[in-house]
Amino acid sequence: MGHIEHKKNIRAGKSLNVYIVTLSDSRKENEDESGNYIKKSLISANHGISGYSLIKDDEDLLENLIVKVCVPEQEQRTDAVIINGGTGVSFKDITYETLKNLYDKELYGFGELFRYLSYNEIGSAAIMSRASAGIYNGKIIFSVPGSLNAVKLAMDKIILNELGHLYYEISKHLP
């Protein structure tokens, strides 16, 4: 079965519960345009929000939160996590390093496609993005830059198009 048939599958169109994480040392929740855009986009696509956290750029905080959110049995089921922020090249940007140590499988194509699409918008500065995606503990994790334009690009061009398909693929052999 090809990708078009998979997307037509009823499980591929299922409403998923997504946890949103914003990493920022300066933003406050009421100023989190990127996190709010993710939330509104998911709701518009008939997905649910299982939670939201705004945390500092800190490896331990991020890792502990992801481990907590991605436990198999939890009160509020989470199918996927979308993280924005901390994907750049500065010393304080820790998202990629933290996640690569957690991923059971990394979805290299997501970062590659994001950087390609970003290149079409911002040129060669796209090489500084370390957007990534992977699977951890049966959950889909997307990590994108924190700028509103980057979040819009990721959500509108990739994540909303493939979220259900990814869920279908990783869950079809789970008990």
Which SS3 state, helix, strand or coil, does residue 131 take? coil
Q: State the pLDDT at residue 10.
A: 46
Residue bearing the bigger pLDDT, 8 or 150: 150
26 falls in which pLDDT band (50, 70, 90)? confident
172 or 166: whose pLDDT is higher?
A: 166
How high is the pLDDT of residue 2?
64
Label residues 103-116 b or e (16+ Cβ within 10 Å = b). Answer: eeebbeebbebbbe
CATH number listed for the domain at residues 3-171? 3.40.980.10
Nearest Cα residue to 107 out of 66, 144, 74 = 144
> Cβ contacts of residue 75 below 8 Å, gap of 6+?
none
DSSP summary character for residue 159: I
Maximum distance among all Cα pairs of the chain, rounded to whole angstroms: 46
Q: Output the pTM of the full model.
A: 0.92
The contacts of residue 124 (CB under 8 Å, 6+ apart) are: none
Would you state the pLDDT for residue 30? 87
Predicted confidence band of residue 27 (pLDDT cuts 50, 70, 90)? confident
Higher pLDDT, 47 or 3: 47
Across 118-129, average pLDDT: 96
Confidence of residue 114 (pLDDT cuts 50, 70, 90): very high
What pLDDT, in 10s, does the model give residues 66-106?
999 998 766 668 999 999 999 999 999 999 999 999 999 99
What residue segments make up the domains of the chain, in order of their start? 3-171
